[in-house]
Amino acid sequence: MWSAVDVETWVSRRTSRLDEVHGPVQEIIGKVKSGGDAALIELSEKFDKVHLDSVAVDEDAREAAYDQVDAKVTECLVEAEARISRFHELQLPRGLWLSEVEPGITLGVKTTPLSRVGAYVPGGRAAYPSTALMCTIPARIAGVPEICCCSPPPIQPLTLVALDIAGVEEIYQCGGAQAIAAMALGTESIEPVEKIVGPGNVYVTAAKMLLREYAEIDFPAGPSEIAVIADENAVPSYVAADILAQAEHDPHAACVLITTSAAFADEVGAEIKKQAENAPRKEIMAQALKNSGYILAGDLDEAVAISNAVAPEHLSIQVADPLPVLGGIRNAGSIFVGPYTPVACGDYASGTNHVLPTAGYARQYSGLNVHHFCKTSSVQMLSREGLESIGDIIETLATAEGLAAHAQSVDVRLRSAKPDCKAPLT
């Protein structure tokens, strides 16, 4: 169950799964496109075994959910909300900045929140109130005025409470690829959104990838993963615990230990066996551990190179001198340094976001943050002096491209008599 794996096999196995479900997911998308709400209700019966009269969740259901949630859990969700908000507020870009880069030429950037976004909160194998917070708080902080959320039926009271704490009022009970299709294409009840964020299983992720023509997405965020870089100074029981924490999410979760010590790899294997024995989700863990294992590295530089090739969702660094290792990391969704930083800190309560790219996509994507919910427009303001200083460049290049009207738009200003108009900021 715990054995050595080689990098190439491990990396290639993880990226191949989305193609396998393209057929069924296309079929689901087609049904939602033609059938709207009725298709959502039919697909919920088929995949979630739940009969719905309507997909929309009303305010009464949101309020009633509090009675079904332990008060201490609600309290902790409120605490987590505050910490997640604090970290994401630090990311807020300036609404507008302007800078005079040379006399008469002022350039800048105007940042605008998206108008309407959809958050997918998974709910198949576990309730994910923490993900409800992670998906929606950055959107709220960015200033998105309309945030809607879909989660599989029957929607979990925990998810409703978390969404209420995050300030989300537009909620639908609808899961899987059909939820993504509904948010991207729209139905009678659900207005289409500009962008869809949030993790999910392989059906959810495949639908997000296939519907990018209709709605922008965050990134593929599928079954959870962890890579641990450890030397012989690390604590085997801590490393095993972090591996099992991600393994319990999904049979397709994948965990890899990259270590410089074969003896340490064996100790972690023994700990995994011991800790998994009585774990409530041991069957899921056992499946996930089939996708997992260890890689022996000659030294920490090699371990870093292997980790960068893997590009894990979560990277835990458990070595005596972690900062040089951290410095070498190029590809990782979220990084956890030192023995007292379990990945669960970022999953729930430190404040960082746990919606992260999986399957090697940390190579090109960043984890969810406030910038995912903003777009920028560049801004420029030139005075006559500014235009004079670059007019010749514009006219020469426009003429070289055969675009005389471009050249004329400069010429008409500089060669004609100065009209009675005033440039801003002059």
Ligand X SMILES: N[C@H](CO)Cc1c[nH]c[nH+]1
Could you list the residues known to form a binding site for Zn(2+), using ranges: 246, 249, 347, 406
Query: Between the CA atoms of 271, 275, 277 and 278, what dihedral angle is there, to the nearest 10 degrees?
Result: 170
Which of 200-208, 265-273, 317-325, 345-353 is the region at the interface with Zn ion (rule: CB under 5 A)? 345-353
Residue 91 DSSP code: T
Q: For residue 112, give the nearest of 371, 365, 368 by alpha carbon.
A: 371
**Residue 250 is a binding residue for ligand NAD (CB under 6 A):** yes
**Residue 225 is a binding residue for Zn ion (CB under 5 A):** no
Do 291 and 254 contact (CB within 8 A), yes or no? yes
CB-nearer residue toward ligand X: 55 or 285 = 285
Dihedral sign computed on CA atoms, order 173, 127, 179, 217 = positive
CB-nearer residue toward ligand NAD: 198 or 322 = 198
Residues in contact with ligand NAD, shown as a per-residue x/- string from 22 to 61 under the rule CB under 6 A: --x----------------------xx-------------
Q: Which of 2, 120, 128, 238 binds ligand X (CB under 6 A)?
A: 128
> Kind and range of the H or E element at 26?
helix 22-43
Report the C-alpha gap between 137 and 366 in whole angstroms.
17
- Count of residues in contact with ligand X, rule CB under 6 A: 9
Task: Tell me the binding residues for NAD(+).
Answer: 120, 178, 201
Task: Tell me the binding residues.
Answer: 120, 178, 201, 224, 246, 249, 314, 347, 401, 406
124 binds, among ligand NAD, ligand X, Zn ion, none (CB under 5 to 8 A by kind): ligand NAD
Q: For residue 224, give the nearest of 292, 154, 294 by alpha carbon.
A: 292
**Residue 131 is a binding residue for ligand X (CB under 6 A):** yes
Least distance from C-beta 325 to ligand X, angstroms?
22
Please, where are the H alpha helices in 59-98?
A: 59-65, 71-89
Q: Which of 118, 129, 175, 360 binds ligand NAD (CB under 6 A)?
A: 175
| One-letter amino acid of 155 | I
Return the residue matching tokens 């139905």. Answer: 187
Q: For residue 134, give the nearest of 152, 143, 153, 121 by alpha carbon.
A: 121
Report the C-alpha gap between 129 and 75 in whole angstroms.
13
- What tokens does 157 get? 């009271």
Q: Which of 62, 116, 195, 249 binds ligand NAD (CB under 6 A)?
A: 249
Indicate if 372 belongs to the active site. Answer: no
Report the C-alpha gap between 195 and 217 in whole angstroms.
5
**Residue 248 is a binding residue for Zn ion (CB under 5 A):** no
Return the residue matching tokens 């069924």. Answer: 24
DSSP for 260-305 reads S-HHHHHHHHHHHHHHHHT-TTHHHHHHHHHT-EEEE-SSHHHHHH
Residue 92 DSSP code: P
Do 25 and 177 contact (CB within 8 A), yes or no? yes
**Residue 231 is a binding residue for Zn ion (CB under 5 A):** no
Residue from 88, 314, 354, 372 carrying the catalytic annotation: 314
Q: Which of residues 103-132 bind ligand NAD (CB under 6 A)?
A: 122-126, 128, 131
Neighbours of 165 (CB within 10 A): 20
Q: Which of 347, 359, 368, 383 binds Zn ion (CB under 5 A)?
A: 347
Q: Which of residues 180-209 bind ligand NAD (CB under 6 A)?
A: 199-201, 203-204
Q: Which of 356, 370, 374, 382 binds ligand NAD (CB under 6 A)?
A: 356
Residue from 81, 225, 267, 313 carrying the catalytic annotation: 313
122 binds, among ligand NAD, Zn ion, ligand X, none (CB under 5 to 8 A by kind): ligand NAD
Summarize as ranges the residues that interact with ligand X (CB under 6 A): 128, 130-131, 224, 246, 249, 313, 347, 354
Query: Hey, which residues are catalytic here?
Result: 313-314
Summarize as ranges the residues that interact with ligand NAD (CB under 6 A): 24, 47-48, 122-126, 128, 131, 152, 175-177, 199-201, 203-204, 221-224, 249-250, 253, 313, 354-356, 358
